[in-house]
């Protein structure tokens, strides 16, 4: 299982998306949601980081602090909580 970290303001809204992504991935990925203040404590083993659209302005800062691919989730996908579309972004991001 590959670990994906979702980051948003407090980790609340992304936790719903993380659950849907875990269900959709069929065990291929393990998705966790954290707030912007705590995500750095949970990066061990992560293959990528996805940032909620509400904090996409932090993307450059997050990219500087990590050594894994980082991408912002598009607002349209995030608003629909479209787990399948987000997993497609992950697969492109990590080259699968």
Cα angle for residues 10, 81, 8 (degrees, 5° grid): 20
Strands (E), the chain: 2-8, 29-35, 46-51, 70-72
Looking at 8, 48, 49, 62, which residue is catalytic? 8
Give the position of tokens 């203040």. Answer: 37
Active site residue 48: no
- The catalytic residue positions are 8
């Amino acid at each position: 299982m590959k670990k994906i970290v979702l980051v948003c303001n407090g980790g609340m809204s992304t936790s719903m998306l993380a659950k849907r992504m875990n269900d959709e991935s069929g065990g291929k990925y393990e998705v966790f949601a954290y707030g912007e203040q705590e995500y750095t404590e949970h990066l061990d083993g992560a293959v990528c980081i996805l940032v909620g659209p509400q904090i996409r302005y932090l993307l450059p800062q997050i990219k500087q602090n990590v050594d894994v691919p980082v991408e912002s989730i598009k607002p349209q996908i995030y608003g629909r909580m479209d787990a399948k579309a987000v997993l497609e972004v992950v697969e492109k991001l990590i080259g699968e």
